[in-house]
Chain A
Amino acid sequence: MKKILISLLLLLFGTSAYADCNIKSGSINILANDFPALRTFVETAKGCKGSADFKVTHSSEHNKIAVPALTANPSEFSARIAANSSIVPLMNQDLIRPLDDLVKKYGKGIQDSQLITIDGKIMAVAFMANTQHLYYREDVLKELGIAVPKTYEEVVAASEKIRASGKMQYPYAAAYKAGWNLAEEFVNMYIGHGGEFFKAGTAQPSINNAKGVATLNMLKKLAGLSNPDYLTHDSEAIKVEWESGNVALMTLWASRSGTLLDDDGDAKITAATKLTGPATVAGGNIPAATLWWDGFTLAKNRSDADAEATFRALAHAAANKKMVADAADQAVWLIEGFKPGPKSIGVIEAVKMKAKPYPMLPQMGLMHGALGSEIVEFLQGKESAEQALKDVEAAYMSKAKEQGFL
């Protein structure tokens, strides 16, 4: 018994000695998406928890839990790692608290560029950037004498050439799974065409236009060069396709490059996997991609003491040069001291090319949802592009009316 006690005590001291931020009390509970960089970030925050209670939920279903869990009072989570799109429902429902005082008190080392301010109030602290960009198989392109594509038109031409060579049946891949993923591809491509989702200053949709039609046609061309099961393929599925060597060109999240380039799988494919910036489309200058940040927000319905403890732990990670140096491969960190490596090319290129951030509008989630289900039939060849866009607008309008936006 005594031994156990002693070893327990040692354990306690062991952890608190590791990186103490001197947090005396409070309880920390974090909700986050599940990919390596976020795990590293949360682990770093845990290292400084002191004597506070520390819990974390990593889930790819985080979007589905966030609003209900933060609506409860007291809320289940004291912090939520959010992104451009997922912060919006939290703002709409008034579920997160301004961080100005905490940043002033404990935010040493956090750079101003990391702060997400809305109406003059700091609502989140960003720590990494993300985007979707092109991946290509150097060996395949070289063998067929194809230059690295810079536009989606070139992607189509290159894919057709690869298919004609008989090397690969379905040389292109992107996450076209019906629902959120497919809608995200539309959003990227539509922004690449220079489209606007709403009539300026209103929540009235405006996607049924020539740019929308061009967007859909490009998506269909790319879908025709993808595995016929593309409507069931999410990021994970196309990653598997890539690792089995079935694909030579792919649009995928920058945050997935870590697992794509790790030692698992065929070394030959991994060695030939190269990253480049996102493609443009239809002669546009800005890439057909959206920029994303990941940052932390604090729940409103939680005691001030918990918020303070949570902020201190997370701020420790959000200004941690050691973490950034150790995990430089995992993400494009927005934290001071980050030296971009070869895996960050995609995001850096996207920023250089002036990619637009994902629109942070209160009604954007509804538009995204309507896109995800209503453009499927166009891709299946069951209806015209105009009809599909008309359906998206109609589906969006009904939802927006129910939500009080129209």
Chain B
Amino acid sequence: MAKPLPALVRLHLTGLRVILVFTVVCGLAYPLLITGIAQVAFSRQANGSQLRQNGQVVGSSLLGQTFDLPKKNPNDPKEQARPDPKWFQPRPSAAGAGYDATASGASNLGPNDPGLTQTIHDRRAAVAAFDGVAPGRVPPDALTASGSGLDPDISPAYAYQQVDRVAKARGLDAAKVRQLVEDHVQDRNLGFLGGPRVAVVPLNLALARIG
């Protein structure tokens, strides 16, 4: 008969057996159970709250997108993106080249970073000129990148600021566009959780529907 294993080896094997048991219970059974329930009961949420236009998936109501003009030269990675005046614009993004969901993340630049300070001054001038408002009125969320780089929302102030520019670019009645924004403003959850906001992609989808 083989000699019993030394106590220390047996102890590690006990540890390994615990891991294997719980890999089955917590690592496979549990997430698969939740996935099953989620897919049956909450399939819209579980699959990423997708938005469709003419049957085609065009994004997720939870993930922001860029709304830029087509590049002049699609093969030039250095070409600056130019915002398309026909769309409500999202916040600046540090995820990849902008709203890249394969590279979520923040700028991670510090509160005193000279580069970030300059970038914010430049953004203020550019956004003010683009939307035709006084630079002092541009809200903070229009000037800063979010934590995820995928922020789906902008502040109601930034949304209203863009109404006239969007209406003009699309040849629509400004009152109609303003009404659309009003319909898309979400208050804090339960009145006190988080911040008031406007989800940009659903707003733009609704905008595309009215012309």
- A and B from one assembly? no
Q: Which residues of B contact A (CB under 8 A)?
A: none
